[in-house]
Chains A and B, each alone.
Chain A
Amino acid sequence: MFVYEKKLEHPVKIDRPNAALAKVIVSQFGGPDGELGAATRYLSQRFAAPYPEVKAILTDVGTEELSHIEMVCSVIYQLTRDLSIDEIKKSGFASYFVDHTTGLYPVDASGVPFSAKTFQSTGDVIADLNEDLAAEQKARLTYDNILRLADDPDVRDAIKFLREREIVHYQRFGEALRIVQDHLDSKNFYAFNPSFDTPARKKSGK
């Protein structure tokens, strides 16, 4: 189960509204490499994970991603406070505003709504973990691009924190993949997962 904690993982405190920046950062809420996709990906994949370390890391990273959704949404919420209609018209935010006002809705930077088609849950731990490694790199580079576009130090502080988490998650998923590969038959030097046809517990006689 999940229990709500009434705090952010890392503080978000932005003084100056900036609708143009909100419009690109929203991609890390509902875009192809965003936090909503990340949380949903890992929290779905974990049910097919065969080893305790892998079940743990998918559960715990997936849970952390939920708190990253909350941080990204807080950034957008604070960037779109107290906006005048003039600022909305000038900033390119009008196309979001017309449907959602300043409510939070998961879309990418060009307005395409979130889709579960951006990720997979294959039932195959090696395929899943390889996707997860790529996903962390893609999220990292999206944050790099946001940092190229954002000058406000308050925004940059939150984005830099989130970027660093992608790097740590990539590292942990790499270790999880190594743990999985250590369980493969020593004669199998290709990384594929035979567990659907020959369940691990049957082979080890447990």
Chain B
Amino acid sequence: MTDREKALKLVQTYEFMLVELNLYLDTHPEDGKAFECFEHYRKLAAEARECYVKKFGPLSAVQGELVNGKWNWVNDPWPWEVK
């Protein structure tokens, strides 16, 4: 696994927890314990995301930057590609 893949895996892991808890909270909107868990992973996900974006570029277009005069959102690899 490359450093980029490792950093991305961390984002995927924490954000998956958010997806899962999001669905659970949709049908259990008054479950405070589940929300606490959601908040915990929301923090971890934000940190992992920030770390990834700083090193490897944007995860969403609004995080795009001009790097050496070029819009870095277009940069390879795209998610379906294996590098």
Determine the main DSSP class of A at the interface with B. helix
**Selected interface stretch from A22-30, A57-65, A85-93:** A57-65
Question: A9 and B12: CB pair below 8 A?
Answer: yes
Question: A168 and B80: CB pair below 8 A?
Answer: no
Say if the beta carbon of B59 comes within 8 Å of chain A. Answer: yes
Question: A77 and B80: CB pair below 8 A?
Answer: yes
Say if the beta carbon of A147 comes within 8 Å of chain B. Answer: no
Task: Tell me how many residues of B have a C-beta within 8 Å of chain A.
Answer: 25
A contact residues around B80 at 8 Å (CB): 8, 12, 70, 73-74, 77-78
Question: B59 and A57: CB pair below 8 A?
Answer: no
Q: Residues on B close to A: CB < 8 A? A: 5, 8-9, 11-12, 16, 19-20, 22-24, 26-29, 58-62, 73, 78-80, 82
Interface contact tally, CB-CB below 8 A: 68
Tell me the nearest residue of chain B to A61, going by C-beta.
B23
B contact residues around A160 at 8 Å (CB): none
CA distance A1 to B19 in the complex (A): 17
CA distance A65 to B72 in the complex (A): 27
CA distance A78 to B81 in the complex (A): 8
Question: B60 and A57: CB pair below 8 A?
Answer: no
B contact residues around A56 at 8 Å (CB): 26
Question: B61 and A4: CB pair below 8 A?
Answer: yes
Question: A70 and B26: CB pair below 8 A?
Answer: no
Cβ 8 A contact of B16, one of A9, A15, A77, A169: A9
Cβ 8 A contact of A172, one of B5, B23, B59: B23
CA distance A56 to B25 in the complex (A): 10
A 10-55 contacts with B by CB, 8 A? 10-15, 53
- Residues A10 and B82 in contact in the complex (CB < 8 Å), given A4-B60, A5-B60, A53-B27: no
CA distance A5 to B15 in the complex (A): 11
Question: B82 and A6: CB pair below 8 A?
Answer: no
CA distance A60 to B78 in the complex (A): 24
